Chains A and B, each alone.
Chain A
Amino acid sequence: MSDPTRFDALVLPHLDAAYNLARWLTRDTHDAEDVVQDACIRALKYIGSLEGGDARGWFLKIVRNAFYDWLGRNRPAEVVNDENEAVDAAVDPVAISPEQAAMRKAELRMLADAVEALPLQYREVLILRELEELSYKEIARVADIPVGTVMSRLARARGLLQRSPLLYAVNGQVTRSAR
């Protein structure tokens, strides 16, 4: 099978997954498209190194690499982002007033906003796990970290979401907000 044919057969089916990951990492539609385009060019170039197996994980790893390279070029400030500030913003009960919360509740974007507010490292494992439904092992391969780190980051991401004021967290449990 020629490289372009292999690309169409193995990589293109995962374009939605690639875009979803890039979109959650960049938090921007246009930036996500640039990252995906870059990733596609890299994938076409290196598709010879893909030996059967997990084409989606392979492609998502390229997307992630393309994203971090893009981040270094375009938002160096975010690369060295003060992570704790982000954590504080994600869990600080006064960061959002009850009135604001009530207004945003109507928009049904609250949980998505809380996910978007997560620090990058936690956001990426959460998206790979909950939206792309990758196993711990697959996430470890995509994010280039040990499985133990996948588990601890995932626990941290979930803990932050549960404590998020956007979610009406009570005693560590998520209660469904009235809709």
Chain B
Amino acid sequence: MNCKDATALIAAYVDGETGRVQFRSIKSHLAACPNCAAEHDGLVALRARVRAEVPRYTATPALRARIQATLDAARQPAPARRRNWFDRLRSAVGGAAPGARAPAASTLAADRSRWLVGGAMAGCAATLLAWFVGTAVTDWRVNEDLAVEAVTSHVRATLGHQLIQVASSNQHTVKPWLSARLDYSPPVPDLQTEGVTLVGGRVDYVDRHPVATLVYKIRDHNIDVFVRPESARAPPSALRTVRGFNVAHATGSGMDWLAVSDLSSGELTSLVQRLARDDSMAKP
């Protein structure tokens, strides 16, 4: 094994992530090569220091209690207990005897009044729970839908005046700026000759990953174009409208292209397709 091969594997070796054969050949290389041995020792020393000096935080008893309370609230109480509790509440609040209402009253009505009374009495806990569950459900739904997320990013950036982090109409300025901040290098097509002005770029989080966002202008319309490596997942539909914004999708140059704008759907679709198959970056 030479140093080049060894260097690539030293970290995996230290992490115990090499196979048995690899393990032996690295071990013998380390015994023979002072440079690689030094690198190995450096990693081992770093690991020792990290484990000794970087604290592993633990949940406090207060947090455990808070979680427990949330979970208890989320769990449905046993029906018998709930009935008693409900009856007690009703007699306390309404003054009516528990048996006053016909036992045959519809479950729905009973459920509803139980919720109403419970809500009034339990106040905080129930409201908080509803809020937490509500946000969890909303987040879930929103994140399932890339188009909605892209529009949200677009609106957030527009409202927060964070549309552009690197302002440049030069593709050779925008591209390296983005590449330096991402683990991939997005193409930055220049369509100036076709009336599309590149105004800059930024990095957004979409689908929980940092994504290159190119900002173009056609006339006075801002266009956000989210560019990320083509994924194996089913692509979003080619064109959608979300909260009044058009969202158009295309694939090309090994990337997924998602454009968001208030530009007309036809124009936006045509733009995203031209961007995706553009090869101006390849030209000198």
Contacts and interface: CB of A to CB of B under 8 A. Distances in A.
Contact of B162 (A80, A83, A115): A80
A151 B204 contact: no
B116 interface: no
A36 B205 CA distance: 21
Interface residues of A, number: 61
B55 A112 contact: yes
A136 B15 contact: yes
Contacts of B143: 65, 69
Contact of A111 (B50, B67, B204): B50
A170 B155 CA distance: 47
Contacts of B12: 136, 151
A55 interface: no
A60 to B, nearest CB: 13
A49 interface: no
A68 B208 contact: yes
Given A68-B208, A174-B49, A37 B181 contact: no
Nearest to A173: B42
A23 B49 contact: no
Interface stretch (B56-64, B99-107, B188-196): B56-64
- Chain B CB within 10 A, most for which of A20, A71, A174: A174
Given A44-B71, A151-B12, A173-B42, A80 B204 contact: yes
A31 B202 CA distance: 26
A79 B54 contact: no
Contacts of B49: 111, 167, 174, 176
Given A76-B156, A130-B50, A41 B74 contact: yes
Nearest to B135: A38
A38 B136 contact: yes
A141 interface: no
Given A84-B180, A112-B55, A131-B56, A33 B63 contact: yes
26 contacts: A7-B71, A15-B64, A16-B56, A16-B57, A16-B58, A23-B57, A24-B57, A36-B59, A42-B140, A72-B205, A76-B162, A80-B202, A80-B205, A82-B165, A82-B181, A84-B180, A111-B54, A112-B54, A126-B50, A129-B15, A131-B51, A149-B183, A158-B46, A172-B42, A174-B42, A174-B49
The 9 closest A-B pairs by CB, nearest first: A19-B59, A173-B42, A23-B57, A111-B53, A16-B58, A174-B45, A68-B208, A20-B57, A15-B59
